[in-house]
């Protein structure tokens, strides 16, 4: 892959990649603010590794590009652009922006670091999602994976995950030499689903030139305030800690309020969250509860004006997208309440957004990320193929696994896993095998989506 603008990284790369903080590649150039959002500032080829260990044979390049934070200030961030092994980057192809469930503050959870061979990021969720991305590559798509929480680790912050995602698409189009009307789509689950929602809602005003055909979101949080207070003290209490750790970085007034009102144990939890990958913190933080000095489980702090201002600012739903959305949610999800997503979908539909909404009775929050993948990917494939859009419905199904297309999808994912573990090339499938919706299963697949 060649970049028309920007500069390549150093020719000699260390065997173990540097974390983003000391890595000069992440450093914003002078006068960056004079560049348009999405401008490629720097680029480099990178070698990816499964769990940081097994070299992945895909074509990958990282772009440092100009973006915008939630306050409208210019910033630099990174996306990792992947193509099938040996693919011609000059050929026209659909582009998907895949927002990982970064769900962390620590920089070793950023996809741009966690994906790299030699990365020390065990317990980061993006390392697991790499397999879903590699399967998408077999369709011949290009995939942009932005660091949507930014190098400052603003997990949970509003708007800027959308800006970083949209500018990552702009940068990817420039990298590949493609026009702005190239078909693109958005995909994300959980924290990545929330980032995808922000990108979808910001697109019309921030990047109206992009030809976004559709978005697919799994368990996209919806009401972050409700989710936080549900998780605090639960078996997933570590997620509440991670969210607040990210928000206090984005909102200085909130940070000051937390330091004044939280007890010492809670402040220690927040400090640990800033250096931990996601999964270890979840395991260690099961049942952990952030509390104020009065022992009221943040009930008093929640009413403080500076806290209310933040809680109002972080809620999506005010700017429903004009393009189609497919949403998937577990009815009995212990992390994201199904009612939160129901209300987000209702707001979208009321504004005229075409939405297909599938609620799964069996899948949990973690399992549904994998179980829904074939459905989400196939639906995007249909949008790229310009197939008729199914009518808007909300359907509650026993399980997304109960279709032949889902089973074929899981088998295809298993094949990609075998190739990834073996270090074999992840190539584009022959054209005749790309359509997972073959004639024998179209009726059943259409019933679900």
**Band (12; pLDDT cuts 50, 70, 90):** very low
pLDDT of 420 over the 80 cut: yes
Angle, CA 157 vertex, CA 153 and CA 163 arms, to 5°: 90
Q: In the predicted model, what is the mean pLDDT of residues 31-55?
A: 97
Domain range for 284 is 238-313
pLDDT of 439 over the 80 cut: no
Q: Is residue 371 part of a domain?
A: yes
Instruction: Give the list of residues 6+ apart from residue 333 with CB closer than 8 angstroms, or none.
Output: 219, 364, 365, 368
Angle, CA 390 vertex, CA 142 and CA 210 arms, to 5°: 35
> Tens digits of per-residue pLDDT, 107-133?
999 999 999 999 999 999 999 999 999
In the chain, what percentage of residues exceed pLDDT 70?
A: 92
Helix (H) or strand (E) holding 327: strand 325-330
pLDDT of 371 over the 90 cut: yes
**Band (431; pLDDT cuts 50, 70, 90):** low
Q: Is residue 15 part of a domain?
A: no
What span, in angstroms and rounded, lies between the C-alpha atoms of 369 and 366? 6
> Tens digits of per-residue pLDDT, 74-98?
999 999 999 999 999 999 999 999 9
Q: In the predicted model, what is the mean pLDDT of residues 242-259?
A: 93
**Band (10; pLDDT cuts 50, 70, 90):** very low
Tokens standing for 206? Answer: 């921030």
103 plus 196 within the same structural domain: yes
Q: Quote the pLDDT of residue 294.
A: 82
Q: Quote the pLDDT of residue 8.
A: 47
- Secondary structure of residue 194 in the 3-state scheme: helix
Residue where a domain terminates, one of 281, 313, 345 = 313
Q: Is residue 1 part of a domain?
A: no
End-to-end CA distance of the chain: 36
38: alpha, beta or left, given left = phi > 0 and alpha = psi -120 to 50? left
Q: Quote the pLDDT of residue 144.
A: 98
Helices (H) and strands (E) in the chain, counts: 15, 12
What span, in angstroms and rounded, lies between the C-alpha atoms of 224 and 319? 16
Task: Return phi, psi of residue 419, to 5°.
Answer: -65, -40
What span, in angstroms and rounded, lies between the C-alpha atoms of 63 and 86? 19
CA 249 to mean position of chain CA atoms: 19
267 plus 385 within the same structural domain: no
36 plus 166 within the same structural domain: yes
Residue where a domain terminates, one of 313, 330, 345 = 313
How many domains does one find in the chain? Answer: 2
306 plus 324 within the same structural domain: no
214 plus 280 within the same structural domain: no
pLDDT of 378 over the 60 cut: yes
Cα-Cα-Cα-Cα torsion 341, 389, 83, 144, nearest 10 degrees, comes to -40
Q: Is residue 430 part of a domain?
A: yes
Q: Is residue 19 part of a domain?
A: no
What span, in angstroms and rounded, lies between the C-alpha atoms of 4 and 249? 35
Q: Is residue 8 part of a domain?
A: no
What span, in angstroms and rounded, lies between the C-alpha atoms of 342 and 373? 20
92 plus 201 within the same structural domain: yes
Q: Is residue 435 part of a domain?
A: yes
Residue where a domain terminates, one of 285, 313, 341 = 313
pLDDT of 210 over the 90 cut: yes
Helices within 150-290 (DSSP H only)? 160-176, 191-206, 224-231, 237-250, 252-261, 264-273, 278-284
Least confident piece of the model among 138-142, 166-170, 288-292, 365-369: 288-292
Q: Which of 248, 214, 208 is nearest to 228 (CA)?
A: 248
pLDDT of 201 over the 50 cut: yes
206 plus 83 within the same structural domain: yes
Q: Is residue 232 part of a domain?
A: no
Q: Quote the pLDDT of residue 5.
A: 41
**Band (303; pLDDT cuts 50, 70, 90):** confident
CATH number where 430 lies = 3.40.50.1820
368 plus 438 within the same structural domain: yes
Tokens standing for 208? Answer: 């109206």
Cα-Cα-Cα-Cα torsion 240, 206, 2, 428, nearest 10 degrees, comes to 60
- The pLDDT mean for the chain works out to 91
Q: In the predicted model, what is the mean pLDDT of residues 53-61?
A: 98
Q: Name the residue with higher pLDDT: 81 or 445.
A: 81
Q: Which residue has the tokens 């983003």?
A: 20
Task: Provide the pairing of β-strand 325-330 with 211-218.
Answer: parallel
203 plus 259 within the same structural domain: no
pLDDT of 6 over the 50 cut: no
| 8-state DSSP, 355 | E
Instruction: Give the list of residues 6+ apart from residue 447 with CB closer than 8 angstroms, or none.
Output: none
Which residues on adjacent β-strands are paired with residue 157? none
Longest CA span, the chain: 65
**Band (1; pLDDT cuts 50, 70, 90):** low
> Tens digits of per-residue pLDDT, 389-417?
988 999 999 999 999 999 999 999 999 99
Q: Which of 184, 191, 88, 193 is nearest to 143 (CA)?
A: 184
Instruction: Give the list of residues 6+ apart from residue 295 with CB closer than 8 angstroms, or none.
Output: 263
In the chain, what percentage of residues exceed pLDDT 90?
A: 83
Q: Output the CA–CA distances (angstroms, integers) from residue 82 to 172, 245, 286, 421, in the order listed.
A: 10, 30, 35, 18
Q: Mind giving me the DSSP string for 42-104?
A: EEEE--EEETTTEEEBSEEEEEEEEEE-TTS-EEEEEEEEEE-TT--TTS---EEEEE-----
Number of other CB atoms surrounding residue 330 within 10 Å:
26
């Amino acid at each position: 892959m060649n970049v028309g603008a920007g500069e390549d990284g150093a020719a000699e790369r260390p065997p173990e990649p540097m974390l983003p903080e000391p890595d000069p590649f992440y450093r914003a150039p002078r006068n960056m603010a004079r560049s348009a959002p999405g401008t490629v500032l720097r680029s480099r080829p990178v070698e990816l590794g499964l769990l940081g260990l097994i070299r992945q044979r895909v074509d990958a390049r990282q772009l440092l590009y100009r973006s915008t934070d939630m306050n409208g200030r210019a910033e630099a961030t990174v996306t990792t652009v992947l193509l099938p092994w040996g693919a011609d980057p000059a050929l026209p192809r659909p582009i998907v922006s895949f927002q990982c469930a970064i769900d962390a503050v620590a920089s070793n959870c950023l996809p741009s670091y966690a994906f790299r061979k030699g990365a020390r990021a065990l317990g980061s969720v993006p390392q697991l999602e790499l397999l879903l991305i590699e399967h998408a590559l077999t369709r011949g798509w290009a995939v942009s994976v932005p660091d949507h929480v930014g190098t400052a680790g603003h997990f949970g912050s509003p708007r800027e995950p959308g800006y970083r995602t949209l500018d990552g698409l702009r940068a990817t189009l420039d990298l590949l030499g493609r026009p702005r009307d190239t078909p693109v789509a958005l995909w994300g689950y959980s924290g990545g689903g929330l980032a995808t929602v922000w990108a979808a809602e910001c697109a019309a005003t921030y990047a109206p030139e992009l030809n976004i055909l559709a978005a697919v979101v799994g368990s996209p949080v919806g009401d972050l305030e409700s989710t936080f207070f549900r998780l605090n003290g639960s078996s997933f209490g570590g997620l509440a800690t991670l969210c607040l750790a990210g928000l206090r970085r984005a909102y200085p007034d909130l940070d000051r309020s937390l330091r004044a009102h939280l007890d010492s144990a809670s402040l220690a939890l927040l400090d640990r969250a800033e250096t931990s990958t996601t999964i270890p913190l979840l395991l260690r933080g099961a049942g952990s509860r952030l509390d104020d000095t009065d022992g009221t489980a943040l009930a008093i702090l929640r009413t403080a004006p500076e806290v209310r201002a933040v809680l109002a600012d972080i809620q999506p739903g005010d700017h429903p997208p004009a393009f189609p959305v497919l949403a998937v949610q577990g009815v009995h999800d212990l992390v994201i309440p199904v009612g939160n997503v129901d209300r987000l979908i209702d707001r979208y539909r009321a504004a005229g957004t075409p939405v297909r909404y599938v609620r799964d009775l069996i899948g949990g929050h973690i399992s549904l990320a994998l179980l829904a993948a074939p459905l989400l990917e196939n639906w995007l494939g249909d949008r790229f193929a310009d197939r008729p859009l199914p009518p808007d419905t909300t359907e509650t199904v026993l399980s997304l696994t109960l279709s032949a297309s889902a089973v074929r999808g899981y088998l295809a994912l298993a094949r990609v896993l075998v190739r990834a573990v073996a270090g074999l090339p992840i190539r584009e499938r022959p054209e005749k095998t790309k359509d997972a919706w073959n004639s024998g299963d179209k009726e059943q697949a259409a019933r679900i989506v």
